[in-house]
């Protein structure tokens, strides 16, 4: 048994070093997304990418599929997309015999990797089928039911859901990440790397097959959570208190993501550093900085032994966006101006200001940092006035 565990650890490390790292060299500025693709692949979970067209979302999935030697199904959804376009048409020969059987050749039911662009254009005709694919990896059409070989589904959109039906679809994507155009200073590297990718130059061959990835899926069940269970429970409670919806079902499923992070680092023991993946469970863009701050506090409690074998993504976080912080503070200011906040809402606002204050300290520009910190102090004073007026 120990030998089998060692094989799985080595396989997880190989996936990270021999597949994900070369992809980072080929796709400039996409390290974060590639790391999340790797975690979701090992966990067998779904990833949602928020961003405009032309930012290499589809190309990333195509390249990962090539390196794992898997089939990929890539489709751009519109409001008028029909089930036949996704799952395949009925087999005419079988239909003549009275059997409703789908011809799935080259369609989603035969793919190891699925990329659905403009996911939130999904209409009611295909919505329920998508939910089954995302939840249970099952294709069902009439009396026809078959398991799917799908390793992961990646959905992309340039917007977030605005109605409940699409919210249910969005909820099935356990992790969410933003994908934007690269900064100006990296554009030259993007042009060079993009030219190499499109010119047919030889690239590193795949080193891990689909069957090996499925073996990694099975090995997750042996992950040991004893060292991190209490910290994870505390973190979920804190996220909920900050207004981030983490249902019991979602909390259970996120354990698979934590275990995948550990396995990519050559461990079956999940530790504090693997909590980094919870940065990516936000529901709105406004939550991103708040979630990142809460998770950063949890990661700071990792000991040196844990950090020695941590995932690279756990070792640092990007500086917060000053504009996002200013916008969040402005929204709190507008709320305080009403002057009518129940005790529970005042407690929530106080916690939000505490989290935003911590994020303000990481702003690199001193003038922006000073302004934001001053704004936090002003809002705390206003909150105290609102509380005093309520008590009197």
- CATH (domain of 31): 3.40.50.300
Mean pLDDT, residues 380-386 taken together: 86
* Cα–Cα distance, 304 to 152 (Å, whole number): 33
**What's the token pair of residue 210?**
């689909």
User: What is the pLDDT at residue 247?
Assistant: 93
In a domain? residue 86: yes
Residue 203 has pLDDT above 60, yes or no: no
Mean pLDDT, residues 192-209 taken together: 65
pLDDT classification of 202: cutoffs 50, 70, 90: very low
- 142 and 255 assigned to the same domain: no
Residue-wise pLDDT for 10-19, tens only, equals 888 889 888 9
In a domain? residue 218: no
- 57 and 190 assigned to the same domain: yes
- 244 and 105 assigned to the same domain: no
Burial 282-310 (b: 16+ CB within 10 A, else e): bbeeebbbbbbbbbbebbeebeeebeeeb
pTM of this prediction?
0.79
User: What is the pLDDT at residue 286?
Assistant: 87
Print the domain residue range for 372.
322-391
- 46 and 152 assigned to the same domain: yes
The mean-pLDDT minimum among 4-8, 89-93, 232-236 falls in 4-8
Q: Determine which helix (DSSP H) or strand (DSSP E) holds 12, and give its type and residue range.
A: helix 2-14
Of 268, 295, 313, the position where a domain reaches its end is 313
In a domain? residue 94: yes
- Three-class secondary structure of residue 156 per DSSP: strand
- 309 and 327 assigned to the same domain: no
Give the end-to-end CA distance of the chain in Å, rounded to a whole number: 68
pLDDT classification of 78: cutoffs 50, 70, 90: very high
Burial 143-165 (b: 16+ CB within 10 A, else e): eeeeebebbbbbbbbeebbeeee
In a domain? residue 124: yes
Number of domains in the chain: 3
Residue-wise pLDDT for 24-38, tens only, equals 888 888 999 999 999
Residue-wise pLDDT for 287-346, tens only, equals 998 899 899 999 999 999 999 889 988 976 555 678 778 888 888 888 888 766 676 677
CB 11 within 8 A of CB 209: no
């Amino acid at each position: 048994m120990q030998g089998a565990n060692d094989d799985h650890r080595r396989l997880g490390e190989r996936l990270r070093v021999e597949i994900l790292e070369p992809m980072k060299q080929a796709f400039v500025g996409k390290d974060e997304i590639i790391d999340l693709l790797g975690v979701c692949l090992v966990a067998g979970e779904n990833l949602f990418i928020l961003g405009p067209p032309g930012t290499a979302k589809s190309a990333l999935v195509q390249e990962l599929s090539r390196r794992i030697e898997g089939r990929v199904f890539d489709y751009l959804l519109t409001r008028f997309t029909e089930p036949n376009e996704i799952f395949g048409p009925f087999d005419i020969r079988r239909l003549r015999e009275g059997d409703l059987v789908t011809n799935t050749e080259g369609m989603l039911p035969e793919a190891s990797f699925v990329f659905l662009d403009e996911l939130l254009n999904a209409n009611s005709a295909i919505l329920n089928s998508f939910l089954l694919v995302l939840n249970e990896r099952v294709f069902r059409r009439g009396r026809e039911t078959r398991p799917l070989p799908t390793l992961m589904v990646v959905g992309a959109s340039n917007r977030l859901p605005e109605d409940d039906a699409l919210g249910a679809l969005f909820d099935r994507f356990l992790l969410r990440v933003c994908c934007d155009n690269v900064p100006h200073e990296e554009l030259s590297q993007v042009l060079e790397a993009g030219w190499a990718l499109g010119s047919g130059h030889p690239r590193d061959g795949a080193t891990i097959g689909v069957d090996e990835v499925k073996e990694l899926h099975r090995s997750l069940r042996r992950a040991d959570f004893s060292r991190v269970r209490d910290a994870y429970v505390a973190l979920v409670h804190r996220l909920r208190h900050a207004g981030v919806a983490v249902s019991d079902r979602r909390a259970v499923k996120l354990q698979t993501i934590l275990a995948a992070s550990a396995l990519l680092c050559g461990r079956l023991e999940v530790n504090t550093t693997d909590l980094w993946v919870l940065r990516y469970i936000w529901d709105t863009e406004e939550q991103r900085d708040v979630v990142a701050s809460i998770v950063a506090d949890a990661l700071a409690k990792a000991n040196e032994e844990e950090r020695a074998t941590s995932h690279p993504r756990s070792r640092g976080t990007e500086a917060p966006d000053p504009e996002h912080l200013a916008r969040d503070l402005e929204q709190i200011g507008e709320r305080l101006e009403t002057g009518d906040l129940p005790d529970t809402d005042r407690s929530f606002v106080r916690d939000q200001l505490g989290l935003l204050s911590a994020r303000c300290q990481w702003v690199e520009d001193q003038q922006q940092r000073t302004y934001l910190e001053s704004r936090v102090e002003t809002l705390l004073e206003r909150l105290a006035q609102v509380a005093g007026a309520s008590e009197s």
